[in-house]
Every structure is written in C-alpha cells, then in structure tokens.
Structure 1
Amino acid sequence: MSATTTSPARPHLLLPAILTIAGTLVLCTLGIWQLERMGEKHAFIGRLTSQATGEPAPMPASSSWATLDPARLDLTRVSANGSFVDGPFAGVRTTIAAGPPGSRQLSGFGRWIFQGFKLEDGGTILVNRGFVPEARLGEIKPASGPARITGFLRAPESRGSFTPDDIPANREFYTRDPAAIAAALNLPPAPFYLEAERQGDGMTPPAGVDVKELIERIPDNHLQYALTWFGLALTLIGVFTAFAWQGRRKVTAADAP
C-alpha cells in the first residue's frame, strides 16, 4: 500500500486582506486629518503673526459677549481702555520653561496674576497681567487707575484629570478659568479673559506674553504625525504582502514533484 501525502492548506487570505484594507484606510484617514490640521495651524499662526505687526482690534462691546464664541476669538489681539478694579488679585499656578540661550524671560515655578479691569463701556473683564516667579510674588501689588491694555483674548482653560483643586478662599487657582476666578474676586463673570502683552524687557514681574515667544510655543508637529500614520499604513501593507508571499512559497514548494 502506497503512502499518501497531504499538501499544506493554502493560506486563508480573505480575512487578513479585509483587516489590512480596513487598517490602511483608518491610518491614511488619520494622516490626511493631520495634514488638514497642519493647514489650519499654519493659517492660525499666519493670523497671529499678521496681528502682531498690525494695529490691534477694538475690544468687543460687553453687550455682545453673550453671543460670542470664546473658542473662535481665542488669541485675537485687541486693545482695551478702562481702569483696574480696586481690590486683590488672584494667582494661577504655572511653570514657565526657560527660553533659548540669549532670551530674556522670567521662568520657573510661579503664578499668572489676574485682576479685574472695568472697561469704558461698563463691562468687566479679567486681565492676566503676566507671570511672576513664586519667590518674587511678595513684590507684586494690585494695579490701579486707568490704563490702555493691548493683549490677546483667551478662551477658558480646560481642567485636566490630574489638575489639583482650586483654593478660591486663598484666590489660588490651577487653571485659567475666568468664571471661577471672577467669583473669587467678587466680580461679574466674562466668557473670556485678556492676556496682557509684554511691556519692557520681560524680566520685571509681572511679565506679560511676548507674541514672538507665544508663536514659537505653539506646537506644529502635524507633518511628523501625518508621516507616522502614512508610514504605519505602508508597514501594514508590507506585512500583509510578506505574509501572503510566504504562504504562497510554502504551497508552491509542497506542490513541487
């Protein structure tokens, strides 16, 4: 009786092919989305750069605030006329990274200084006067009197899962939330706050934001992310191709006389 031999089964490629196609589509979609985000980010940076070299827009009338979208107004450069509200300020804890060699900016652990500002049209907005290192917090006194402030409208900062609880009784906060800060200062809430533009050399606290440094701090890694997603898609296609080719080789070798 002659022995019978059995050939190895041909690899089942249908399910791996479906999974590969689905995975490739998902990865390419993510890559395209990152390219779209890159275009939006570059347009945003271009707008910021243009604003920095031009005249600031007027502060939106307080009567219109309820109809405005803070997210769409975020980082719009404006000027505001009014007077600082007499009373205490609040501090938002933060850490500022040191700048590149040769830069002149305060850094380290400290606080953003928030104080009420009554506008000429009667509205009240919080002004982030700038950063103060913790060791120099005792030097800071509330601002007073009339002023013209140029700066950037900012939307409320969201709270993360690990953000510590605020201490309103001490006027100490961990997010730039204008509603919560205004409540602690007994001021009417506004949907956004005004981040004051830097005046002077940036070494005297409170040091406001410098628009060039602000632009440099905006993350722009979308092209890198897009190439990563497209690279993973190519890798997935390569893995499937190698799997199919290896299975075909085994079947061809088994079928050979």
Structure 2
Amino acid sequence: MRRLILPLFFGILGTVVLVWLGTWQLQRLAWKEGVLADINARIVAPPVTLPEQPDPESDTYLPVTLSGQLTDQEIHVLASTRDVGAIYRVITAFETEDGRRVLADRGWIKTEDKNVSRAPQSTTLIGNLQWPEERDGFTPENDVDANIWFARDVGDMAVVLKTEPVLIVVREATSDVSENGPSVTPLPVDTSGIPNDHLGYVVTWYGLAIVWVAMTLYYLRRMRKTKKA
C-alpha cells in the first residue's frame, strides 16, 4: 500500500487541478458570452448624434448617425474576407453639416478598383464608433506614399486626412456610391472578430482530466500486478 500512496496522491492532485481549470474556463465562457451579448445589443441600438468628444473606452460600438459630405480623400487598408479574398477597406474623410471632420470606414472594394476615383457626395451615414486594435508585432508598417495601409491606425489616419481621431464604421448610407464610381460595400461592425475560445479550453481541460484518471488507474493496477508477480 505504501507504494501506491504517492501515485494515488499525484493522480488525485492532477485530477483536481485539471477539473478546476475546466470549471474556470466554463465560468469564463459564460462571462464572454455575456460580454458578446452586451456588445451585440449595443451595436444595433438606435443611433444617436455624434458626441462632442467621443471616448474610446465608453463610446466604442456606440451607434451614431450624421449627415454631411464624403470627400474624395481616401485611405486604403489592405484586408481580406472569406468569400472575396484580398480587398481594400476605404477610409474617407467625412465633413459633417456642423463643420466637423471625422473618419468614415465606408466598407470594401475589390483590389482592382483601388485607383478608380470616387467623387465627393452628400449623404447621411449610420454606423458605429470604433477604435480598432489591429497592429501586432507581425503587422508591416503602412506605406503612406503608395496608400497601402495594413491596420486601421485611427490616430495616424486622422493626421493624414486632417480629421478628428474618430472612426465611424458605416452600416448604412442614404446614397448609392455606384453613381460616382465603383460601389463600396459596407462592412459593418460585428463581434465575429472577438475571440471566444473558452469552450475549446473547457473540452481540453476536462478531456485531460479524464485521461489523467485513466492513466492513474492503469498505473495503479499495473503496480499491483507487479507486486503480486
């Protein structure tokens, strides 16, 4: 029995730790689903007027509506979609009726339409405020001269287009831009880009707990047979 105490102790300890980790991830899963539900509800809430000084912390995903003019000053951000492949997001300087200049993420165009001009036009936009964090250690530097960007760096885009550091991701526009050039397809804000891997972690930790128990029982049984032999 003394020979079995130590393996049994580690078997129980390992099982407890793995089950605790799985339970913790189960709690994290419930928390993340609640966060995503809150964000989804916020995204589709009735739009309001653009705040005087939007706050990146409290106003992210805030639905807003504003009228004014889309200018012909654009920034093109290289991106991709599952259905189309490589695309450019079109970020335009937008002049509101009360004289403000903000950034408008109008949506996406095909790469071959990058250099086709889109004339200024008056419109009313409905969209959501966002300050994306798309840059990491592997993101290339933006090629400002060639107008090929690799991340929506709101501060840098605001400097180039001479706007406030405020980005509205367009969900709807009152006019069809196809009249003034190739159509820009809106790419609205959603929660698909927010990772939620907790269910996978739950399965992993509970699965390891089952394997740990099975290995412990197998080892204990083998030790008993060895002792009898």
Q: Normalising by the residue count of structure 2, what TM-score does the alignment of the two structures yield?
A: 0.78
- In 1, distance between residues paired with 2:149 and 2:14? 48
User: How many pairs align?
Assistant: 224
- In 2, distance between residues paired with 1:38 and 1:31? 11
- 5+ long unaligned stretches in structure 1: 1-6, 99-106
Kept in 2, the 8 Å contact 1:31–1:230? The answer is no
Match in the other structure for 1:60: 51
Match in the other structure for 1:103: none
Secondary structure (helix, strand or coil) at the match of 1:173 reads coil
- In 1, distance between residues paired with 2:41 and 2:210? 33
Q: Deviations over 1:6-29 (max 9, x none)?
A: x99446233454344334323332
- 5+ long unaligned stretches in structure 2: none
Secondary structure (helix, strand or coil) at the match of 1:172 reads coil
- In 1, distance between residues paired with 2:3 and 2:209? 28
Match in the other structure for 2:135: 159
2:229 counterpart of 1:229: no
Match in the other structure for 1:97: 82
2:35 counterpart of 1:40: yes
**Deviation at residue 136 of structure 1 after TM alignment:** 1.8
Kept in 2, the 8 Å contact 1:89–1:142? The answer is no
Alignment of 1:27-176 (within 5 A): 27-48=22-43, 50-51=44-45, 55-61=46-52, 64-65=53-54, 68=55, 70-85=56-71, 88-98=73-83, 107-144=84-121, 146-176=122-152
Secondary structure (helix, strand or coil) at the match of 2:169 reads strand
> Which structure has the larger Rg over C-alpha atoms?
1
- In 2, distance between residues paired with 1:180 and 1:149? 23
**Deviation at residue 249 of structure 1 after TM alignment:** 4.6
Kept in 2, the 8 Å contact 1:198–1:207? The answer is no
Match in the other structure for 1:104: none
**Deviation at residue 115 of structure 1 after TM alignment:** 1.3
Match in the other structure for 2:6: 12
Kept in 1, the 8 Å contact 2:21–2:205? The answer is no
Cα RMSD after superposing both structures: 3.3
Percent sequence identity over aligned pairs: 19
**Deviation at residue 78 of structure 1 after TM alignment:** 1.4
Match in the other structure for 2:223: 247
2:21 counterpart of 1:26: yes
